[in-house]
Each structure stands twice: as C-alpha cells, then as structure tokens.
Amino acid sequence: MQELRTSLVEALARATGLPAPQVDGMVGLPKNPAHGDLAFPCFALAKRDGKNPVELARALADDIALPDGFAAVEPTGPFLNFRFDRAAFITRTVQSVLEQGDRYGAGAPNDDVVVVDYSSPNIAKPFHIGHLRSTLIGWSLAKIFRFLGHPVVGINHLGDWGTQFGYVWVGCERWGRPADDDPDPILALVDRYVRATKLKEEDPSVEEAARDYFRRLEAGDADARAFWDYARTVSLDEFKAVYARLGVAFDHYTGEAFFNDKMDGVLADVEAAGVGEVSDGAWGVSLGDDLGFALLKKADGATLYLTRDLAAIDYRHRTFGFDRVLYVVGAPQSLHFKQLSALCEKLGKPYHDRIVHVPFGHVHGMSTRSGGAVPLVALLDEAHERALRALREEVTKRPEGLDEDAVAEQIGKSAIIFNDLSRGRIKDVHFDWDAALSFRGDTGPYLQYAHARINGIAARAEAELPDAVDGSRLPEDEAFQLAAQIGRFHDAVRKAAATYEPSAIAAYLLDLARQFSRANEVLRVKDAEAGIKEQRFALFVACRQTLANGLRLLGIEPIDRM
C-alpha cells in the first residue's frame, strides 16, 4: 500500500515539477470513495501556473505516466483521481502471505542486538500488577524485535538483593518460616516482612538486626546465604508457575544478587573517572540540578539498586554487545534510568546513549472477586472461570467435542493480555472484567473469535486453496479493503518496534478483524461457485495467517476452534 502511494507521489512530482514531500502532503483519499483510491488536488499547481484547476486536472491526466500497480487516472473537477489495479494488488498480497506463512511481516536477520529487561519482580514480595504489565509489554517487545530479525536477549533482573531481605529474615526469626506445605509461601514471607517493618516503628533494634543480616549476606556469610537461597527459591517457583501459564520466557535470570561480586569493579570505575564524592558519609556522583546526587554506596558500605544496575549494564555490554537495552519498568522509575544514563556518560561508557527506558502507567481496578491485592495465580484462575462462563453464554454454536476448559484458559489469558497491550503504554489502564472478556468489544476474545471463525469457514465450506491466487475473481470492494488491511501489517509491526508500543499491533488487529467481518458478510465461501470459492477462501486464509502472526507478537496463542 505504502509502496503504491510512494510511486504515485514520485510520478506526480515528475509530472508537475513540485517537490515530492509537498506532493506527499497533498495526496489523500478522494472524498467519495467511489471516485478512486487516491486523489491529487490541483489548486496549488493552478495557482502556481496561473491556470484553471479543472483544465489543469484534465491536462495532467493525459500527461502523467501511470506507475505500476495503478489501473486508471480520471480527472473529476479540480481533482485527479487514481485507481489501483486492485486485482493485481489482491493477488500479490494474498500470495505473499500464503508463501511466507508465519514469517509474513518478518524482517531480515541483522546484527543489532536488543536486550530487553522485563518483569523483574522482587523476591519475597508479591508479583504485583505493575510487574504483570512489565512482563506482558516486555515479552511482546522481545517477540516483535525477534520477528524483525534482531538477536534478542530477554533478561529477568530479579530484585533478589537489598536491605528488604533483612526484614523478611527478622520476621522469619520471630514468627517462623512458612510451613513446608503452605500453598502460598510468598504471602507468608510478605506477612513476615510487613510485621517486621511494623515492629521497627516501636523497636529500633529491628532495623539494626535487618541491616546486620544484609551486611552478613553481602559479606558472604553461609547462614545468611542459606536463608536468602531459601526465600529466593520459594519466590521463584511461584513466579515461574505464572510465567509458564502465560507462556512467557527469559534467556537469563540474572537478578541483582548476580552482580554482588561485581560491585568493587563498578566503584573502582567511578573512582578512576574521578567523579565520585562523599556526601553525608555516603558516596556517589553528583549529576547536577535536575538529576541530583546518585547514591552508590551507603555510609554502612551497602550498595544500592542503582549501583547494581551500573554493574548490570556493563556486564550486558561485555557479554552481549548490545545495540540497545530496553528497560520495561513503570514510569515512577524514570529518574533512576536518567541517572543511569548520566552516570554512564560521566564514566565515558560507549553505551550511555543506548539505554532506553520503556515506561508504562498504572493499572486500576484489577482485583479478584475476593477483593484486595491480586495474587497473579488467583487472577488467572478467575479469568479462566469467567471465560468459561462467557464462552458458554456468548458463543452459542460451539463445535462438537470442544475442550471448553482448554479454550477458556486461552480466552482468559487473551483477555488479560490484550486489555493491557491494547492501550498506549503510558496511559493508565482501567481493568474491568466484563469489558475485557466481551466477545463483541475491542478485546482479545473478539480477536480469538474472529480467528476461530475463519477456521470454521474452511471446515464448513470444504474449500481448498486455489492452484494460483487470482485477485480478479475478487472484484468486491470488501475484498480489496481486507487485502489492503492485510498489506498494512508490515507497517504496524515496524511502528510498534519504533515506538516500543505493542498497542500499534493491537490496534491494527482490531481493524483487521473488523474488515474480516465486513468481507465475511459479502464474500460467502460456502455457496460460491467453483473458481470463486477458492479465491475467497485464499483471501480469508491470508487474513487468518496475518491475525495469527499479530496475536503471537502480543504473546497470545491463537485459538483454532471455539
């Protein structure tokens, strides 16, 4: 589509002598779609030449050499209207989807390594909704960049280090560890943490004990380490269960603790650059008015989140030689990442301008029926249960022998994922169960339903793919509009990558599904005569393939039957 437009702009620029960017700004859709596919108004040209625009349009129609892919040009008053060679366009588009299959829309392999840091929850703390957003956005971006041919390294930068461990430890010392058969041990660890931090208000020795524990941990004390191991394993088991259920994966789980033995190197780097200074007994780098003082070592010698991020980026650079690192982390941490970039610049690191913070807004209203904070597993369970009900109520003609439970699990996840990824990242997301699960709204279930319906068409119509795709058998406007939307998939994927916005693909898929619905009303496959039937079917198969490719880039596995 874009190519057609570009070649028309070039042809018009040649014929008129106007600069191509100016022509590009003038070419648009005809007011009346029946007049053509693209229009060029002749007013500016007429003014330049002191001629009548209507006459000019007529003269230009005779002069211009129609570029490839166009079938006709017609003057209509002061406008020049162009028609695509729609049949050729449909043929080309459908053919390339059928040929390329799940690579349709993909990019050629290249060497620009993209590191994506996502999910990164904190040990011994619940996996909260912010981490769910990071997980979904990061996973989708990792898939998008991989699809575009980049080597991608997905990293879970676990928050498995820091003074908060001290409070969990104190709490467990006082009130015991969670029982071995505790169904939700993280919740029990959180309980110990909350109680210990509360106790600290009355009893100052709690804080001292917590700090002392963390000092021992940093120093490599075996007992301190054993407790850390235990808390980490318990938490990670639970996180991994959620990842497995969502189908999310990582190449590395290198959390903050992984960098503990690399702190001295970082601090030496800062020392060597001569930018470190002492402030209130603590040590760090002053970054100026906007970014303030970047604390790297506390008075008691403990290092910080920022120190570990400094070590982490250097390690990643040495290990993966990245082109950029995407940090998919909530907007409240924007100062942190600005400080990180500024620090790297001060240290003369070549990668200081390859740090990309991909921030996102809050999620409101996400709670389970029981209310309160949302353990992820409970959220997924509720999605499953509600999806099963929605499936039974809304999809009245379900295929025989359908594994409704398996389908409900897929629909529930699609609802949660799509609800999140369909909004611009930075906007706060409002979560509403009924809206997210509706089969008629702009939802994951709606897209899944469209996907399954296309498969159903094939089954009912007993159609087969034609030997050769022939767009001239698809003269209906709906067929062209559907093919045109299929042809825009490339642009949607590239836009999503350029803006780090999976929502560009989500919006694209909703348009695609709507075009499918329109086409499906007109282009019946089942009753069409032989010769046309296969062509219609091929168009729908191309649509299904594109829908599936797009859904997978969002981290949603398409459903074949429902």
Angstrom distance (rounded) from CA 377 to CA 561:
26
Angstrom distance (rounded) from CA 186 to CA 239:
10
To the nearest whole angstrom, how small is the minimum distance from the Cβ of residue 159 to ligand ARG?
3
To the nearest whole angstrom, how small is the minimum distance from the Cβ of residue 12 to ligand ARG?
49
**Residue 343 in contact with ligand ARG, rule: CB under 6 A:** no
To the nearest whole angstrom, how small is the minimum distance from the Cβ of residue 166 to ligand ARG?
17
Taking the least distance from each CB to ligand ARG, the nearer of 210 and 312 is: 312
User: Which of the ranges 117-125, 388-396, 443-451, 535-543 carries the binding residues for ligand ARG, by CB under 6 A?
Assistant: 117-125
Taking the least distance from each CB to ligand ARG, the nearer of 53 and 159 is: 159
**Residue 135 in contact with ligand ARG, rule: CB under 6 A:** no
Catalytic annotation on 198? no
Taking the least distance from each CB to ligand ARG, the nearer of 157 and 386 is: 157
Taking the least distance from each CB to ligand ARG, the nearer of 42 and 129 is: 129
Angstrom distance (rounded) from CA 552 to CA 247:
11
To the nearest whole angstrom, how small is the minimum distance from the Cβ of residue 337 to ligand ARG?
8
**Residue 120 in contact with ligand ARG, rule: CB under 6 A:** yes
**Sign of the four-CA dihedral 188, 191, 193, 199:** negative
The total of other beta-carbon atoms located within 10 Å of residue 200's CB is 17
Taking the least distance from each CB to ligand ARG, the nearer of 254 and 503 is: 254
To the nearest whole angstrom, how small is the minimum distance from the Cβ of residue 320 to ligand ARG?
14
Binding residues for ligand ARG restricted to 473-512, rule: CB under 6 A: none
User: Which of the ranges 96-104, 116-124, 372-380, 446-454 carries the binding residues for ligand ARG, by CB under 6 A?
Assistant: 116-124
> What would the two tokens of residue 550 be?
């797009």
**Residue 307 in contact with ligand ARG, rule: CB under 6 A:** no
Binding mask 250-289 for ligand ARG (x = CB under 6 A): ----------------------------------------
Taking the least distance from each CB to ligand ARG, the nearer of 75 and 159 is: 159
To the nearest whole angstrom, how small is the minimum distance from the Cβ of residue 257 to ligand ARG?
12
- 352, 340 Cβ separation under 8 angstroms: no
To the nearest whole angstrom, how small is the minimum distance from the Cβ of residue 161 to ligand ARG?
10
Active-site annotation holder among 35, 125, 298, 490: 125
Q: Please give the size of the binding site for ligand ARG, defined by CB under 6 A.
A: 9
**Residue 329 in contact with ligand ARG, rule: CB under 6 A:** yes
- 340, 309 Cβ separation under 8 angstroms: yes
Polymer length of the chain: 562
Angstrom distance (rounded) from CA 457 to CA 562:
12
Q: In what order do the strands lie in the sheet with 276-279?
A: 276-279, 282-286, 293-297
Q: Kindly provide the b/e burial profile for residues 463-478, where b requires at least 16 CB atoms within 10 angstroms of the residue's own CB.
A: beebeebbbebbeeeb
Contacts of 89 (CB under 8 A, 6+ apart): 4, 69, 471, 480, 483, 484, 487
**Residue 357 in contact with ligand ARG, rule: CB under 6 A:** no
Q: Amino acid identity, residue 546?
A: T
To the nearest whole angstrom, how small is the minimum distance from the Cβ of residue 196 to ligand ARG?
19
Q: How far, in whole angstroms, is CA 307 from its chain's centroid?
A: 28
**Which residue in 250, 320, 327, 446 binds ligand ARG (CB under 6 A)?**
327
**Which residue in 85, 207, 269, 309 binds ligand ARG (CB under 6 A)?**
309
Angstrom distance (rounded) from CA 196 to CA 206:
7
**Residue 157 in contact with ligand ARG, rule: CB under 6 A:** yes
Contacts of 330 (CB under 8 A, 6+ apart): 130, 133, 134, 359, 360, 361, 362
Catalytic annotation on 352? no
Taking the least distance from each CB to ligand ARG, the nearer of 93 and 122 is: 122
**Residue 235 in contact with ligand ARG, rule: CB under 6 A:** no
Binding mask 159-198 for ligand ARG (x = CB under 6 A): x---------------------------------------
Catalytic annotation on 128? yes
**Sign of the four-CA dihedral 202, 203, 208, 211:** negative
- Give the phi and the psi of residue 376 in degrees, each rounded to 5: -55, -40
Active-site annotation holder among 128, 252, 262, 362: 128
Taking the least distance from each CB to ligand ARG, the nearer of 352 and 552 is: 352
**Residue 85 in contact with ligand ARG, rule: CB under 6 A:** no
Angstrom distance (rounded) from CA 30 to CA 36:
6
To the nearest whole angstrom, how small is the minimum distance from the Cβ of residue 308 to ligand ARG?
8
Taking the least distance from each CB to ligand ARG, the nearer of 132 and 379 is: 132
The total of other beta-carbon atoms located within 10 Å of residue 455's CB is 18
Residue facing ligand ARG at closest CB distance: 159
Taking the least distance from each CB to ligand ARG, the nearer of 308 and 386 is: 308
Task: Return the bridge partners of 252, or none.
Answer: 155
Alpha helix positions (H), 398-532:
404-421, 433-437, 444-461, 477-487, 489-499, 503-522
> What would the two tokens of residue 446 be?
């709606």
**Which residue in 16, 91, 93, 122 binds ligand ARG (CB under 6 A)?**
122
To the nearest whole angstrom, how small is the minimum distance from the Cβ of residue 338 to ligand ARG?
13
Please count the CA atoms within 13 angstroms of the CA of 467 that sit on its side-chain side: 2
Q: 3-state SS string over 145-170?
A: HHHCCCCEEEECCCECCCCHHHHHHH
Chain residues in the site for ligand ARG (CB under 6 A): 117, 120, 122, 157, 159, 309, 312, 327, 329
Which residues have a catalytic role annotated? Answer: 125, 128, 131
